[in-house]
Chains A and B, each alone.
Chain A
Amino acid sequence: MEKNLALVLLLSPFVGFLFNIFFGKKVSRTVSGAIGTLTVVLSFLLSICFFSQLNQSGKPFEFSVFDWIQVSNFKLDFGILLDQLSLLWLLFVTGIGSLIHLYSISYMHDDENMHKFFAYLNLFVFFMITLVVGSNLLVMFIGWEGVGLCSYLLIGFWYKNQDYNDAAKKAFIMNRVGDLGFLIGMFIIGALFSTLNYAEIKTALAAGNADTALLGVAALCLFIGATGKSAQLPLYTWLPDAMAGPTPVSALIHAATMVTAGIFMVTRMNFVFDLTPDVQNIIAIVGALTALVAASIGLLQNDIKKVLAYSTVSQLGLMFLALGFGAYNVAVFHVITHAFFKACLFLGSGSVIHGLHGEQDMRNMGGLRKAMPITFWTMMISTLAIAGIFPFAGFWSKDEILMVAFEHNKVLYVIASIASIMTAFYMFRLMYLTFFREFRGTEEQKHHLHESPSLITIPLIILAVLAVIGGAINLPGSMWLTHFLEPILGKHEAHALGTHEFMLMGVALVGALVGILWANAKYIKQAFVPKSDAEITGFNKTIYDKYYVDEFYTFLIVKPINGLSNFFRTTLEPALGKVVFSFGSLANGLGTQGKKIQNGNIGLYLFVFVIGVCAIITYLFIAQ
């Protein structure tokens, strides 16, 4: 029974995908959207059932569906594991997924390919569930690659625009760089433990006979996989470009769920990472640097979605910082709160873009507060949450990350704090430029300004509420989340709330306020509007152009490979061909020389023949 329910939970979105792919065109758009949404809602409801059951029994639920791949030293089955971690992820993946599906019914209603959009979204949810519920690394890898595929399909959803297609392709390929790391990590673990099943790896590790050097390599490779999917240095550049996709996609895939897969994986494999402190250090450093770099780029972006994209990268960096210190519970906490407010922010930005008929440049916005009150207030709440203002959800989770960082490494703490201040600044810059002061767009746009329909605002409101109260799941006093995850992550001693902690909270809060005031001074008091692209100069231009990282990659990797390809194609291939042909030429040359003997003079032939016979006879005589 449970087994079947779990399969329904997994396959329900897939059924939605099949329906929409095959029959989506035949039914009306609303029906197609409704079916897409309902299948995800069903998964959500089942997740709640399993969750409450797990809460009572405390026993994780694991079973194997069928045998899949067999290699010599172990067998890989398609196994499902529903434990605390996977159910937690399931809840917010399907929950937020449902909301975003609902939102998309309205948002995508005018698109002729809406049924495909829902098909892809459903497929994404299916793969995300697969990623989360797999009981071994290979099943996770199916989901891992599958969500990458859906990301590719959805970024390039408007396929007529080749720039979007380029962005989609870039996302897929950069993800695949990470995937190679994942694969190699999987191979090493498979070779070491003869299994890829989480529980079995854990048992084997507990027995304590692992080659730590090799284990370190494996952990590092897995982390490379995570940097690809979760957009960390140096593989983060695809995520901002991924904003080419429709906004609900950005919200669902590129902010709330898929990009957290890397964090999920590291948390899942916590027992491996715990044994490899060097790799943990690397994770922490990479996380902190990503947070800083992305936040600094976010300071000067003018595309509303790009700002949110860089803020996502930056927040993911903070989560990795926590992971690097072994504070998995803290990272998970931030994943969840971040999912709430970042989904809300993206959907809000979608509402704005929807209201302005596709305008994404904040220089052409402003003053939308009055026209779109619900969008404004929900986004404001989420902005306060992401900036880390008491008592919104982001305050609690970010504060815990900073606290952990302070405990372990002061330098990284400072970096993370700077990133947080920047976050507060650019998020309020976004709010001020979008919603405050006068409208800077065209008259026609102004004329059409309106609040979005309720299918768009309801998800916004729900998410905003969650962004307010989401912090409750792991308040310093109760620490419900931490306790809930104990079976997987082991015991973490709860912070006693001393003066020390209050002081850190205060510092974080002051930092956030500084960022907000700085934005207020610049964009409200001075009424500053960012300059047009051509006027940006100096270091600002460097930041505006994202430190030229893309250009650097193009120069360092893409160009050489393409150059090599051209060289191989135009020079080496023909040269190799010539070597083969040279054998033919050799034969030809011999023939040209040889044919001179063949002059057709029968008399000569006979003469040579007789001479030959004589020579042979003579030789035979001498030989005797």
Chain B
Amino acid sequence: MNNILNQIGIENYIFLSVLLFCIGVFGVLYRRNAIIVFMSIEIMLNAVNLLFVAFSTYHQDSEGQVFVFFSMAVAAAEVAVGLAILVSVFRNLGSIDIDNLKNLKG
């Protein structure tokens, strides 16, 4: 087991991943711009992807990496759809501030 994981240590991957995830969460919570929220979600996703890969190597099991490919593909699709929605929202409302998106108010 002589790879980069050994030199850095699994804990640091976890720390980094948690840090990234938290940044993502706070980004989602505090920013009003939908694109930034979107990017924050991407950060969270990638945080999880990083963790997946790290554990995959740690356990010598390739399944985690397979998952990452999946989630990257899904994320790409999601971005495509999500951005399209945002574009049409912007066209309709002239803004992408999420505070303005209250049409679902019960």
Interface string of A587-605 (1 = CB under 8 A from B): 0000000111111111100
Q: Is B80 an interface residue (CB 8 A)?
A: no
Which residue on A lies nearest to B102, using beta carbons? Answer: A600
Interface string of B1-32 (1 = CB under 8 A from A): 00000000000000000000000010011001
Bound Cα distance from A487 to B25, whole angstroms: 107
Q: Is A607 an interface residue (CB 8 A)?
A: yes
Q: Is A586 an interface residue (CB 8 A)?
A: no
Which residue on A lies nearest to B25, using beta carbons? Answer: A610
Contact across chains for A607 and B29 when beta carbons are under 8 A apart = yes
Q: How large is the interface on A (under 10, 10 to 19, 20 to 34, 35 or more residues)?
A: 10 to 19
Contact across chains for A594 and B106 when beta carbons are under 8 A apart = yes
Contact across chains for A603 and B99 when beta carbons are under 8 A apart = yes
Interface of B is mostly: loop
Residue from the list A598, A606, A607 in contact with B106, Cβ < 8 A: A598
Contact across chains for A598 and B104 when beta carbons are under 8 A apart = yes
Question: Which of A595, A600, A601, A610: most chain B CB closer than 10 A?
Answer: A600
Bound Cα distance from A610 to B29, whole angstroms: 9
CB-CB < 8 A to A600: which residues of B?
Answer: 101-106
CB-CB < 8 A to B98: which residues of A?
Answer: 602-603
Contact across chains for B29 and A603 when beta carbons are under 8 A apart = yes
Interface string of B70-106 (1 = CB under 8 A from A): 0000000000000000000000000000110111111
CB-CB < 8 A to A606: which residues of B?
Answer: 28-29
Which residue on B lies nearest to A592, using beta carbons? Answer: B106
Bound Cα distance from A354 to B103, whole angstroms: 88
CB-CB < 8 A to B103: which residues of A?
Answer: 600
Q: Whole-angstrom distance from the CB of B24 to the nearest CB of chain A?
A: 10
Q: Whole-angstrom distance from the CB of A447 to the nearest CB of chain B?
A: 91
Which residue on B lies nearest to A598, using beta carbons? Answer: B106
Count of inter-chain pairs, beta carbons less than 8 A: 31
Q: Whole-angstrom distance from the CB of A587 to the nearest CB of chain B?
A: 14
Q: Whole-angstrom distance from the CB of A610 to the nearest CB of chain B?
A: 6
CB-CB < 8 A to B25: which residues of A?
Answer: 610
Which residue on B lies nearest to A597, using beta carbons? Answer: B106
Bound Cα distance from A595 to B105, whole angstroms: 8
CB-CB < 8 A to A598: which residues of B?
Answer: 104-106
| Beta-carbon contacts under 8 Å, A571-624 to B | 594-603, 606-607, 610
Q: A607-B29, A610-B25, A610-B29 are in contact. Are A599 and B101 (CB under 8 A)?
A: no
Q: Whole-angstrom distance from the CB of B68 to the nearest CB of chain A?
A: 21
Which residue on A lies nearest to B31, using beta carbons? Answer: A603
Q: Whole-angstrom distance from the CB of A621 to the nearest CB of chain B?
A: 15
Q: A594-B106, A595-B106 are in contact. Are A601 and B28 (CB under 8 A)?
A: no
CB-CB < 8 A to A596: which residues of B?
Answer: 106
CB-CB < 8 A to B105: which residues of A?
Answer: 598-600
Bound Cα distance from A599 to B106, whole angstroms: 6
Interface string of A515-552 (1 = CB under 8 A from B): 00000000000000000000000000000000000000
Interface string of B53-82 (1 = CB under 8 A from A): 000000000000000000000000000000
Bound Cα distance from A596 to B28, whole angstroms: 23
Which residue on B lies nearest to A611, using beta carbons? Answer: B29
CB-CB < 8 A to B101: which residues of A?
Answer: 600, 602
Which residue on B lies nearest to A613, using beta carbons? Answer: B25
Q: Whole-angstrom distance from the CB of B27 to the nearest CB of chain A?
A: 10
Which residue on B lies nearest to A610, using beta carbons? Answer: B25
Q: Whole-angstrom distance from the CB of B48 to the nearest CB of chain A?
A: 13
Question: Which of B28, B32, B99, B106: most chain A CB closer than 10 A?
Answer: B106
Bound Cα distance from A594 to B106, whole angstroms: 8
Bound Cα distance from A595 to B102, whole angstroms: 13
Q: Whole-angstrom distance from the CB of B74 to the nearest CB of chain A?
A: 19
Bound Cα distance from A590 to B29, whole angstroms: 29
Which residue on A lies nearest to B34, using beta carbons? Answer: A602
Bound Cα distance from A356 to B29, whole angstroms: 106
Q: Whole-angstrom distance from the CB of A143 to the nearest CB of chain B?
A: 71
CB-CB < 8 A to A601: which residues of B?
Answer: 99, 102
CB-CB < 8 A to A599: which residues of B?
Answer: 102, 105-106
Q: Whole-angstrom distance from the CB of B14 to the nearest CB of chain A?
A: 14
Q: Whole-angstrom distance from the CB of B76 to the nearest CB of chain A?
A: 22
Interface string of A251-293 (1 = CB under 8 A from B): 0000000000000000000000000000000000000000000
Bound Cα distance from A597 to B29, whole angstroms: 18
CB-CB < 8 A to A603: which residues of B?
Answer: 29, 32, 98-99
Q: Whole-angstrom distance from the CB of B12 to the nearest CB of chain A?
A: 21
CB-CB < 8 A to A597: which residues of B?
Answer: 106
Which residue on A lies nearest to B105, using beta carbons? Answer: A600
Known pairs A597-B106, A598-B105, A599-B106. 19 more at Cβ < 8 A?
A596-B106, A599-B102, A599-B105, A600-B102, A600-B104, A600-B106, A601-B99, A601-B102, A602-B98, A602-B99, A602-B101, A603-B98, A603-B99, A606-B28, A606-B29, A607-B29, A610-B25, A610-B28, A610-B29
Query: Can you report 7 A-B residue pairs in the complex whose CB atoms are below 8 A from each other?
Result: A599-B102, A600-B106, A601-B99, A601-B102, A602-B101, A603-B99, A606-B28
Q: Shortest 4 CB-CB distances between A and B: which pairs?
A: A595-B106, A600-B105, A600-B102, A598-B106
